[in-house]
A and B are shown apart, each in its own frame.
Chain A
Amino acid sequence: MKLLKLVPDDTNIAFLKWRNIAVAISILMIIGSMALVAQRGLNFGVDFVGGQMIRTTFTQTTDAPITELREKVGALGYGDPTIQRFGEPNEVSIRMKLPDGADQDPELANTMADQITGMLKTEYPDVRIDGVDSVSGKVSEELLSKGVWSLVGAMLAITLYIWIRFEWQFGAGALFALFHDVALTFGFFALTQLEFNLNIVAALLTIIGYSLNDTIVVYDRIRENLKKYRKMDIIALLDLSVNETLARTVMTSLTMLVALVALIIWGPDVIFGFAAAMFLGVFIGTYSSVYMAAPILIWLKVGPDSFIPPETAGGKAERVGGPEEIG
């Protein structure tokens, strides 16, 4: 049986040759993402700004009358609703800010939800209320700060772990790569204005985990090669490490993407944003392991002396040269 090989044996692509351009582009992308977030803002769901979201399905209509809905909900006097389609064209979510004073008197929020659902049921007899999310200002503030802390905490804890397992340069490289991934994902959400909710924080943390997975595989090979080829030029050594792990990188990324495509196409609509963020994250994470995490090691002057195994430091025979001498 002939087996599939996605990446030919012994590739020798000079990835690191483009490192300056790649890093420049990455930095521009990070700045661009930040600017996007600053300018357009994120489309925060009720989880993080409080308010109410009512999910509905129009069971007899193929297209939900969004403009009409906007007017009718607006006419109730609670301000303009944010109406968005999710999944099928007959499924919409209606998002409202909490009415003034709802923090002192949550009854106001209930009244608002009652009025909206009541109006929907009388005006559109085929409407089905699929869900109501109502989050007070206090709880949404907590959720936001918890979300931020979990992201920051995860990034720092992981960096610390890499530092302990490898060397400080590797920790710094991983942190920078993670920052890149998170910043770009934020930029993606600012650009698409997809709803940013609790699920997206979960997606971000998974992206962090996945990106790091990749970074660690490359780092592990760099560490191994640093011990093996003590005289090799650092750039050549990084290139070698990336090439040696390339087959694995491509294969794993593809299996992740296959699983995610299934989620995006056939999965529940509620987690579309989550799956989309993850899909993007796989690309960003793979890229950042090669072009963010690796070049930083050059600039931070990682060399063979970063890992001197005590038993070989005494002048054991060294192996010099590239992979072709070994094969």
Chain B
Amino acid sequence: MLDFPRWKVISISLLLAFGVLMSLPSLFFGESHKYWPTFLPDETINLGLDLSGGSHILLEADPADVGETRLETMEESVRAEMRRADPRINIGDISRKDGTLSFMVRDSTQVDAAREALLPLTTGAGLTGQRDWDIEVRDDTRFVVTPTSAGLENAVDNAMDTATDVIRRRIDEMGTREPTIIRQGDTRIVVQVPGLEDPEALKELLGKTAKLDFKLVDFEADPNAVAEGRPPVGSQIFPYPDNPAGLPNIAVKRLGGISGDKLTDAAQGFAPETNAPVVNITFDTEGGAKFARLTQNNVGRPFAIILDGEVLSAPNINEPILGGSAQISGNFTVEGANQLSIALRSGALPVELQVVEERTVGPDLGADSIRKGMIAAIIGTSAVLAFMVITYGRFGFYANFALTLNLFLILGVMAIFNATLTLPGIAGFILTVGSAVDANVLINERIREERRRGRRVVQAVEVGYKEASRAIFDANITNVIAGLLLFIFGSGPVRGFAVVLIIGIITSVFTAVVVTRMLVALWLRRTRPQELVI
């Protein structure tokens, strides 16, 4: 027991000093640690949203949605390839059903040519050499194009990656500070924005797919059929909420439109004549050329501006628009136009995202929680510390010293891992205080017991530490097991609790057993007491 080599003392002390040093930046949040000398660490723990205030939003995409969009694109590619083939391949009876695309080649001698033309539309997917689409020919002339599961998975994965980037760009455009945007699982994205007063604007922005299309209005369509939602051949029906003609829908031509994804800029502005808020967009070279061609060929006719499947407005093309920029009018507020311009600037989402979970904490409640948590922590810790000294005297003081170091160590380890402190995490701190002393209680009670049995001082201390360690070890392992399960299955703030618990258990065993043992050994060696007050 008395044999505590110098190298051990030094390494334990160094380890403790390192932990305390790492915890310091976190104790002086914000401004002050900017002025610190640079050799000091600057990793801090993060405050969870429930303490700092802010919004946590979980977005989810429907994979079927991705499949559907992909199938649509496939249909367009098939039509284009067949048209481009030389000689042209006539196809008909093209339909999308149950996630597959099927069509008929009118001339059965062209089946092989059609297959040749289709093959470049598929690529390899995954490591198994599987392709992303299966092409099958049934009854000699019917082609069935089915997405393979690997292909679909790839597509969903890519769509989610793109969506994450788009979301990041949108939030950056809003100018919020330190957002966290992480993909979670296969189809989810977590967005965390600290210190946001009003999450409504954020949610609005995230919920917008921002898919912009310009299509020609089919003004020959029968208004009654359109109102009932029956499109004429070659046209599609879109809802048009602000239709000046009063109809809820409008019919537009399927073909001949252009999509608005070829933009270089979008900004909120005002219409020169009416002073109504509008969005000014600028096409890139390719998009500009297409738009010029569209407007040149259709002067005098209206075209519909379609955003996310809904018509915003359907202005007349008064003259060709050749400069590569255009104005989107609609029933906008300034704010709405501003949001749309942000959404358009950062690109369209490849898939629709829905908010499946939202947690917002106002900054006042967060600050209140920190204050109350701190007060409770200080009172609770002081009471426990006082209790220990009253009960175990010198040994209680050693335990308290270890306990205080333990608090610094937890903070330090959390800072090293950039862990997040949440409100339940503060509760975890207080609980760690309560249970960390348990190790010392076990040891000290055992020493008392051994003294009663008549062991001499040094031996009693030695046996006390040895016999108590076994139970301390087992008890803490089981606590780590509970903590790990909490970490694995928990979410958000509860996870923060698990983090504090696990780190706290590990550091508390170190301080409560190793550090107090060192202190006691050094004291025993120095004074060689014949009697123990414990």
A residues contacting B by CB (< 8 A) are: 1, 3-6, 9-10, 55, 57, 106-107, 109-110, 114, 128-136, 138-139, 143, 146-147, 149-150, 153-154, 157-158, 161-162, 165, 198-199, 201-202, 205-206, 208-210, 212-213, 216-217, 220-221, 224, 244-245, 247-248, 251-252, 254-256, 258-263, 265-271, 274-275, 278, 326-327
Contacts and interface: CB of A to CB of B under 8 A. Distances in A.
Contacts of B474: 161-162, 165, 216, 220
Contacts of B393: 1, 3
B362 A278 contact: no
A85 to B, nearest CB: 15
A131 to B, nearest CB: 4
A255 B431 contact: no
12 contacts: A106-B355, A139-B58, A158-B481, A202-B424, A202-B494, A202-B498, A206-B501, A217-B475, A258-B380, A258-B387, A259-B381, A259-B384
B39 interface: no
A131 B494 contact: no
B259 interface: no
| Pairs A-B, 10 closest by C-beta atoms | A262-B380, A150-B489, A259-B434, A267-B376, A130-B365, A220-B471, A209-B482, A256-B434, A268-B369, A259-B380
A263 B485 CA distance: 24
Given A146-B491, A217-B475, A263-B376, A154 B438 contact: no
A279 B354 CA distance: 40
A143 B364 contact: no
Contacts of A134: 355, 357-359
Interface string B355-377: 11111111011001100110111
Given A202-B490, A266-B376, A136 B356 contact: yes
A256 B432 CA distance: 9
B170 interface: no
Interface of B: 50, 58, 60, 199-200, 203, 207, 354-362, 364-365, 368-369, 372-373, 375-377, 379-381, 383-384, 387-388, 390-393, 423-424, 426-427, 430-431, 433-435, 437-438, 441-442, 445, 448-449, 452-454, 467, 470-471, 474-475, 477-479, 481-483, 485-486, 488-494, 497-498, 501, 533-534
A217 B442 contact: yes
Given A128-B362, A199-B494, 5 more contacts: A130-B365, A139-B357, A210-B435, A252-B437, A262-B376
A251 B441 contact: yes
A245 B362 CA distance: 47
Nearest to B50: A270
A269 B449 CA distance: 42
A266 to B, nearest CB: 4
A132 B358 CA distance: 7
Contacts, number: 234
A97 to B, nearest CB: 16
Contacts of B384: 255, 258-259
Nearest to A220: B471
B188 to A, nearest CB: 9
Contacts of B356: 106, 135-136, 138-139
A184 B315 CA distance: 69
Contacts of B492: 198
A142 B14 CA distance: 45
A3 B359 contact: no
Nearest to A157: B481
Given A220-B471, A274-B424, A206 B430 contact: no
Contacts of A254: 387
B261 to A, nearest CB: 24
B475 A251 contact: no
Given A131-B360, A136-B356, A267-B372, A262 B379 contact: yes
Contacts of A267: 372-373, 375-376, 426-427, 430
Nearest to A54: B360
A224 B424 CA distance: 37
Contacts of B423: 268, 270-271
Contacts of B390: 3-4
B437 to A, nearest CB: 5
Contact of B373 (A6, A57, A245, A268): A268
Nearest to A137: B356
Nearest to B474: A216
B365 A248 contact: no
Contacts of A220: 470-471, 474
Contacts of A114: 200
B57 to A, nearest CB: 9
Contact of B433 (A132, A139, A259, A274): A259
Given A132-B360, A133-B358, A3 B445 contact: no
B488 A150 contact: yes
Contacts of A205: 482-483, 485-486
A129 B365 CA distance: 9
B213 to A, nearest CB: 21
Contacts of A263: 376, 380, 427, 430
A143 B491 contact: yes
Contacts of A106: 207, 354-356
Contact of B475 (A198, A213, A271): A213
A216 to B, nearest CB: 5
Contacts of A260: 380, 430-431, 434
B431 A55 contact: no
Nearest to A258: B383
Contact of B486 (A202, A247, A261, A266): A202
B441 A128 contact: no
A149 B442 contact: no
B445 A248 contact: yes
A256 B479 CA distance: 15
A8 to B, nearest CB: 11
Given A158-B481, A262-B380, A201 B387 contact: no
A221 B467 CA distance: 9
A203 B453 CA distance: 39
Contacts of B497: 202
Nearest to B373: A268
Nearest to A210: B435
Given A133-B358, A267-B373, A216 B391 contact: no
A213 B435 contact: yes
A260 B427 CA distance: 9
